[in-house]
Structure 1
């Protein structure tokens, strides 16, 4: 992914913006009161951010706007796919965890992949906020940004939605599973 051109062709941009608009209109409850025209102008003015959103889409995240930061004037996009994005599963938590594995290493880590995509992992608080917009990760789980004190002890946090509740668990940061990926956010 490092050698990937971080720009979309004019046709790719137009097609992707249309995809985002259709999702925006279909899921109004996530962003009631937001204006698509204003958001589209912001997306078109930020090609690097649009590329990052496209990476979220390409890896199965189905990004959608879920908030607006009045202080910065930025729209906030989260991965809103029903399950943890398929193209981001089977990854350990971060590079340190990946380096610590002696055998059966995954290809990359959640933190490394997010950085390459230009996005951030959701925090536990953001993950819980996402769950107020629908039911996500009913069959999968997602790594969430782990506090430094937990990470220093070798652990990492992940979350899911089971039995009508959001659960946050811990695991060794070097672990990885076919049903665990990560969800990201992007500010535009």
Structure 2
């Protein structure tokens, strides 16, 4: 029997099959997000990369509803973004990063967006990726999502987040130590 540690980032056959079923159903329901792509090719790529499947399961488990949003013809990689209507519920009320979290004197949240993303094996969406996502639907009409923040802004203590209001994407700033019940983060994964 394999040790618990070796299974840490690996799904059981039942978990894998269940996740593939969920991802396939979402893929087929939202063809406008990935015109011209075939599920069989996506699935083959996923099955060849079990650690990426584990990351997608983490995205799903925390409410992200990951879906294919692109394909790099040069590398063959598929891009998955969190496509939940609102910022993922299982990732809310987090500071931007570890430094922001540790700078809080009291009322610290349990985690930070950057630490959670790293543990899940995914990256926060950039502002550009967030704007790409909004072309595929309307996301974060009631919530907001932390996004990758340029080093010069982060060095000064700030962090960026985005949302969608009044038919437009808005980019705002907060102190990296702040957190809100309606703000999480959206992730991306290349497989």
> TM-score normalized by structure 2?
0.96
Deviating beyond 6 angstroms after TM superposition, the runs of 4 or more aligned structure 1 residues are: none
Gaps (5+ residues) in structure 1? none
Residue 12 of structure 1 corresponds to which residue in structure 2?
A: 15
Q: In the alignment, which of 137, 162, 165 is matched to residue 162 of structure 1?
A: 165
Q: In the alignment, which of 168, 174, 177 is matched to residue 174 of structure 1?
A: 177
Matches within 5 A, 1:63-142: 63-142=66-145
Gaps (5+ residues) in structure 2? none
Which whole-Å deviations, capped at 9, do the CAs of 1:93-132 have from their partners, x for residues lacking one?
A: 0001011111000000000000000000000000000000
Q: Alignment partner of 1:161: what SS?
A: strand
Q: Alignment partner of 1:64: what SS?
A: strand
Matches within 5 A, 1:15-34: 15-34=18-37
> TM-score normalized by structure 1?
0.97
Q: RMSD over aligned Cα, in angstroms?
A: 1.3
For 1:71 and 1:122, locate their aligned partners in 2 and report how far apart those are by CA, in whole Å. 21
